[in-house]
């Protein structure tokens, strides 16, 4: 029944006799070796399995991860607020509205608050957390600072 359902190209599968193994010189030399010389796979001992785990194995790493997550969340929230304030201030400055000066001051204040928290973390005692925070958000904070400076210079040119 199976043989009838197979397509014509698979005629070799319809044969009723067993297939022969074709031995090459390489396979003959490998198969002729005693079993003791063949590679065997042994399970890893429990102590070495933990060395390859993806989760941190030390308590210090757990604390670093928790601290890093906490600081990154705080900085991300402040960055979002500062970015929103900057966008509002840039729009008001471009339109030269009455509220532009107050919005620029709010953007500058939000940026300074973000920079204070960032500086506190980067200059903190935990070097691992400081380096990771610097790597993740340092460039974005510098870009936002340059954008605020450019907006303030544009406003001075409008006066």
Q: Kindly report, residue by residue over 76-114, the tens digit of the pLDDT.
A: 999 999 999 999 999 999 999 999 999 999 999 999 999
Q: Is pLDDT of 15 > 90?
A: no
pLDDT at 51: 42
Local structure of residue 20 (DSSP, 8 states):
P
Select from 62, 59, 72, 61 the least CA-distant residue to 121: 72
Q: Is pLDDT of 55 > 70?
A: no
pLDDT at 22: 52
Q: How confident is the model at residue 45 (pLDDT cuts 50, 70, 90)?
A: low
Please state, in angstroms and rounded to a whole number, the distance separating the CA atoms of residues 63 and 67. 6
């Amino acid at each position: 029944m199976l043989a009838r359902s197979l397509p014509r190209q698979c005629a070799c599968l319809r044969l009723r006799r067993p297939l022969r193994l074709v031995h090459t010189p390489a396979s003959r030399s490998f198969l002729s070796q005693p079993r003791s010389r063949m590679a065997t796979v042994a399970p890893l001992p429990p102590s070495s399995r933990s060395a390859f785990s993806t989760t941190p194995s030390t308590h210090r790493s757990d604390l670093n991860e928790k601290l890093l997550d906490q600081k990154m969340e705080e900085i991300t929230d402040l960055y979002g607020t500062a970015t929103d304030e900057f966008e509002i201030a840039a729009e008001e400055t471009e339109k030269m509205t009455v509220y532009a000066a107050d919005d620029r001051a709010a953007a500058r204040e939000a940026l300074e608050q973000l920079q204070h928290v960032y500086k506190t973390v980067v200059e903190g005692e935990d070097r691992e957390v400081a380096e990771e925070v610097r790597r993740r958000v340092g460039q974005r904070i510098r870009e936002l600072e340059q954008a605020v400076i450019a907006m303030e210079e544009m406003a001075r040119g409008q006066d």
